[in-house]
């Protein structure tokens, strides 16, 4: 067992750290205030290879491993979780899904642009009445021979208004339950594909979240991903990888808040000394650091499982469950350590606290992660 990062991994982490500090940090408060999508920064992240981190270079990707992916996700998320969720969804729900389950034609047509950031991807599973209960898809895809007709509504879609390529999960044969579900590639601008207003959110306000409406959208048969009826399994497998990305995002939010709290506690004085010298604060720092290190081990283990070709359904769910809990608890503590300043936007920790909450909700709530973990324990 080796707990050290390779030199290459350290270089990748440092490149992401440097990008986050020099490019993401300067406008992050303003983007959060204005709910502004980081359009130019997405392009820059594409140029750096952050949008197709694990994609084979023959499709325009960076050809890196999942360890590199989580290192990049942690560094970006320390500063700007709105930017990092765009990276996470594009990498693990869209690029990974297409590379693993798409046809060669689909990869040539879509993946090559998604991996370089020329296109941005969205993953559309959740519906008004099918969030955690993902098998209850109401969106329908009716087989018409050489094409499908798609009708329905998708909710809370990350990059919903800004994406170019949308992976849409829909029910083709209700009688077959989860085996009657398919995944399709849709393009922005297809007739009948409408984008609803942007959501006004508590956190990750720079990320662009929309409801999407499909009214008789005609989708060519070659845009179905995989065999007929394989869409639910496709969604579950891609989400397992997505959960590693969100776990790394939660880790980054927690470690970003911890670093700010540590720095502040060494500068701020009360009762004649820096507040880190008071046990009430010092013990908070000890708890934060310990829990963040434990979360980091779990995130790395899930990424390692993926790199080794092991099943990572359980380790990714565990990493997301734990890292998101640590992110929520310790961003609250970081605000507390900052006192009144923690409640003020310029100190960044209040934004990290708001951003932390979504990591317990999207790509499967914490309750869903417990279902995945417990089912896999019982099956083992
Ligand atoms: N790999 C392969 N197959 C899987 C699988 C996996 N990880 N998980 C389930 N399956 C298979 C099952 O084996 C089963 O197949 P059989 O019928 O052949 O046995 C089939 O899929 C149905 O599975 P379940 O019976 O377990 O289905 P369920 O109705 O009990 O639901 C669930 C399972 C885990 C709760 C699932 O519905 C789930 O993960 N829900 C949460 C959905 C979610 O994460 N949504 C996030 C939205 S995306 C998002 O947030 C993106 C964003 O923009 C940030």
**How do residues 221-230 score in pLDDT, each as one tens digit?**
999 999 999 9
H helix intervals, the chain? 7-19, 28-34, 39-47, 66-79, 81-88, 96-101, 104-106, 112-116, 231-267, 279-308, 313-338, 349-358, 366-379
pLDDT of residue 327: 98
Q: Whose CA is nearest to atom 27 of ligand 1?
A: 135
Q: Is the pLDDT of residue 104 over 90?
A: yes
Ligand 1 centroid to residue 372 C-alpha, Å:
8
Give the pLDDT of residue 1: 85
Q: How confident is the model at residue 214 (pLDDT cuts 50, 70, 90)?
A: very high
126 lines ligand 1 (CB under 6 A): yes
Closest CA to ligand 1's atom 36: 134
Nearest protein Cα to ligand 1, atom 10: 233
pLDDT at 354 over 90: yes
Is 90 exceeded by the pLDDT of residue 263?
yes
Cβ(88)–Cβ(246) below 8 Å? yes
* Cα radius of gyration rounded to whole Å, the chain: 21
CA distances (Å), origin 104, targets 32, 107, 108: 39, 5, 6
Indicate if 363 belongs to the active site. Answer: yes
pLDDT score of 140? 97
- Helix spans in 125-230 (H): none
Q: Confirm or reject: Cβ of 132 under 6 Å from ligand 1.
A: yes
Is any atom of ligand 1 closer than 6 Å to the C-beta of 257?
no
pLDDT at 219: 98
Q: Output the residue whose Cα is nearest ligand 1's atom 2.
A: 233
- C-alpha 20/C-alpha 48 separation (Å) is 12
Mean pLDDT value of segment 64-90? 98
pLDDT band of residue 122 (cuts 50, 70, 90) is very high
Q: What average pLDDT does the structure give for the chain?
A: 97
Q: Whose CA is nearest to atom 29 of ligand 1?
A: 135
Best residue for ligand 1 mutational test, from 128, 171, 233, 318 (most atoms within 8 Å of Cβ): 233
Residue 26 and residue 169: Cα distance in Å, rounded?
37
Mean pLDDT of 152-162: 97
Residue 96, SS3?
helix
Say if residue 201 is exposed, middle or buried (CB neighbours under 10 Å; 0-12, 13-18, 19+): middle
Give distance in angstroms: CA of 178 to centre of ligand 1. Answer: 9
Counting Cβ atoms within 10 Å, is residue 271 exposed (0-12), middle (13-18) or buried (19+)? exposed
Q: Report the pLDDT averaged over residues 169-185.
A: 97
Tell me the pLDDT tens digit for each residue of 266-323: 999 999 999 999 999 999 999 999 999 999 999 999 999 999 999 999 999 999 999 9
Ligand 1 probe mutation, 81, 85, 135, most atoms within 8 A of CB:
135
Mean pLDDT of 200-214: 98
Mean pLDDT of 164-191: 97
Q: How sure is the predictor about 208, in pLDDT bands with cuts at 50, 70 and 90?
A: very high
- Catalytic entry in 75, 127, 350, 363: 363
CA 216 / ligand 1 centre spacing (Å): 26
CA angle 27, 205, 312 (to 5 degrees): 105
pLDDT reported for residue 380: 82
Calculate mean pLDDT across residues 141-150. 97
Read off the pTM.
0.98
pLDDT in tens, 15-73: 999 999 999 999 999 999 999 999 999 999 999 999 999 999 999 999 999 999 999 99
Best probe residue, ligand 1, of 166, 321, 364 (max atoms within 8 Å of C-beta) = 364
Residue 209 has what pLDDT?
A: 98
pLDDT higher than threshold 90 for residue 123? yes
On whether the CB atoms of residues 110 and 165 are closer than 8 A, the answer is: yes
């Amino acid at each position: 067992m080796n707990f050290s990062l390779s030199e290459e991994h350290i270089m990748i982490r440092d490149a992401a750290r440097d990008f986050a500090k020099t490019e993401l940090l300067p406008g992050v408060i303003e983007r959060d205030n204005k709910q502004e999508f980081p359009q130019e920064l997405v392009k820059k992240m594409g140029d750096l290879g952050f949008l197709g981190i694990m994609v084979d270079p023959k499709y325009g990707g960076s050809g890196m491993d999942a360890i590199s992916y989580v290192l990049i996700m942690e560094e970006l998320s320390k500063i700007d979780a709105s930017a990092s969720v765009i990276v996470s969804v594009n990498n693990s729900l869209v690029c990974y899904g297409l590379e693993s389950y798409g046809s060669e034609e689909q990869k040539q047509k879509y993946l090559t642009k998604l991996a370089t950031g020329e296109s941005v991807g969205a993953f559309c599973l959740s519906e008004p009445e099918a969030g955690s209960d993902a098998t209850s898809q109401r969106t329908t895809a009716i087989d018409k021979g050489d094409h499908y007709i798609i009708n329905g509504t998708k909710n809370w879609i990350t990059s919903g208004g800004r994406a170019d390529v949308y992976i849409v999960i829909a029910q083709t044969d209700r009688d077959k339950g989860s085996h009657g579900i398919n995944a399709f590639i849709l393009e922005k601008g297809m007739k009948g594909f409408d984008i609803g207003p942007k959501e006004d959110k508590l956190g990750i306000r720079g990320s662009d979240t929309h409801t999407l409406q499909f009214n008789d959208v005609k989708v060519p048969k070659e845009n179905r991903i995989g065999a007929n009826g394989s869409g639910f399994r496709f969604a579950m497998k891609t989400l397992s990888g997505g959960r590693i990305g969100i776990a790394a995002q939660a880790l980054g939010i927690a470690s970003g808040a911890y670093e700010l709290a540590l720095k502040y506690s060494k500068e701020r004085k009360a009762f004649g000394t820096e507040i880190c010298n008071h046990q009430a604060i010092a013990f908070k720092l000890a708890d934060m650091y310990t829990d963040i290190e434990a979360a980091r081990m779990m995130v790395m283990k899930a990424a390692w499982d993926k790199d080794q070709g092991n099943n990572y359904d359980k380790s990714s769910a565990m990493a997301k469950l734990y890292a998101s809990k640590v992110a929520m608890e310790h961003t609250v503590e970081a605000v507390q350590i900052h006192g009144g300043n923690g409640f003020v936007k310029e100190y960044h920790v209040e934004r990290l606290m708001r951003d932390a909450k979504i990591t317990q909700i999207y790509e499967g709530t914490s309750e869903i992660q417990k279902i995945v973990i417990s089912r896999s324990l019982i099956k083992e």
